[in-house]
Amino acid sequence: MGIKGVIFDLDGVLCSTDECHYLAWKELADSLGIPFDETINRRLRGVSRMESLDIILQAAGRAFSSREKQALAARKNERYRRLLMKLTPADLPGGVRATLDELRRRGLRLAVGSSSKNTPLILQRLGLEDWFDAVADGNDITRSKPDPEVFLLAAERLRLPPGECMVVEDADAGIEAALAGGFIPAGIGPAKGNAKAAYHLEQFGQLIELCGHAPVE
């Protein structure tokens, strides 16, 4: 049967906006007098904005209403989006564009499956908005990873069954989501050592070899 499609997580796989996230969350936490560092920041990988906020607020010492949380999340996202506006195609990691181009040349269908509601903006800033056959993001789903909803939607938009799609993820929650949805998980970055991943990528360009010569339909 073989791999006919590849679904990419966005942040940490196609690009890195970790510093933007970190700065935006830290600014919010500092304003509330809540400790925030890289250790806490790592816990936010692969989870939604509201879930990330809940993790940060665990150290607040008081409860926050739903309305307060929505306002705080909006503040963080406003700051994050201002930082994203500084992104340019030059911020795309080396080898990503060439690898995507080669995968497309070989007939593979490509998609983005990300929990981020800022996916369209990030793709636009990086010059990747027209490179994918499908995009599924946080604007389309109600359940974040490790639920497989975003990957299942991406596969549906690619018109491929999960078993014919590789999912490339840098977060353990994403690997769990891929497995739960019946996809072929490939770990990269922090998730490359995940024992549950079918493939462990040292670098993005390895996808060309792993995906082989996909059949063109």
Residues for the chain: how many in total? Answer: 217
Those residues with Cβ within 8 angstroms of residue 110's Cβ, 6 or more apart along the chain or in another chain = 5, 6, 7, 8, 100, 103, 104, 131, 132, 133, 134
What does the CA dihedral 53, 58, 59, 61 come to, rounded to 10 degrees? 110
Asked if 9 is an active-site residue, the reply is: yes
Q: What angle do CA 116, 126, 97 make, to 5 degrees?
A: 105
Among 11, 137, 170, 172, the active-site one is 11
Asked if 11 is an active-site residue, the reply is: yes
**Residue 158 burial class via C-beta count within 10 angstroms: exposed 0-12, middle 13-18, buried 19 and up:** buried
Among 9, 137, 170, 172, the active-site one is 9
Catalytic residues: 9, 11
